């Protein structure tokens, strides 16, 4: 499996090549889009990107966990977690890539 990581710079470079904006404008566009997505998630909104997937925030209640090594009970505090659910098109595309 390829160990490459897609970065903000990679996204900016792709926008630069595909759209034709300057490198600086491309970087600003990527930052703006990611900022809008982040802000919406912080507000608790769902972010749905067609043919890609849905990001949402879930509130998890407090519960009692257990240290698997010692068996000691440990309180787990309530928290908000980010979830991502890929679209069926994305799932199919990723699965098709696994067949190569």
pLDDT classification of 27: cutoffs 50, 70, 90: very high
Burial of 26 (0-12, 13-18, 19+ CB in 10 A): buried
Name the pLDDT band for 20 (thresholds 50, 70, 90): confident
CB 62 within 8 A of CB 78: yes
Angle at 7 between CA 94 and CA 13, to 5 degrees: 100
Question: Does residue 67 contact residue 75 with C-beta atoms inside 8 Å?
Answer: no
Q: What's the pLDDT at 34?
A: 96
Burial call 69-98: b when 16+ CB within 10 Å, e when fewer? eeeeeeeeeeeeeeeeeeeeeeeeeeeeee
> What pLDDT, on a 0 to 100 scale, did the predictor assign at position 100?
55
Over the stretch 52-88, which tens digit does the pLDDT of each residue have?
999 999 999 999 999 999 999 999 999 999 999 999 9
Does 90 score more than 90 pLDDT? yes
> What pTM, to 2 d.p., does this model score?
0.78
């Amino acid at each position: 499996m390829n160990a490459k990581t897609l970065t903000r710079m990679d996204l900016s470079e792709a926008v630069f090549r595909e759209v034709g904006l300057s490198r600086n404008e491309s970087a600003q566009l990527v930052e703006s889009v990611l900022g809008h997505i982040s802000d919406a998630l912080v507000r608790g909104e769902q972010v749905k990107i067609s043919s890609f997937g849905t990001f949402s925030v879930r509130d998890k209640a407090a519960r009692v966990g257990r240290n698997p090594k010692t068996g000691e009970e440990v309180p787990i505090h309530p928290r908000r977690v980010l979830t991502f659910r890929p679209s069926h098109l994305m799932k199919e595309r990723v699965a098709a890539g696994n067949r190569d």
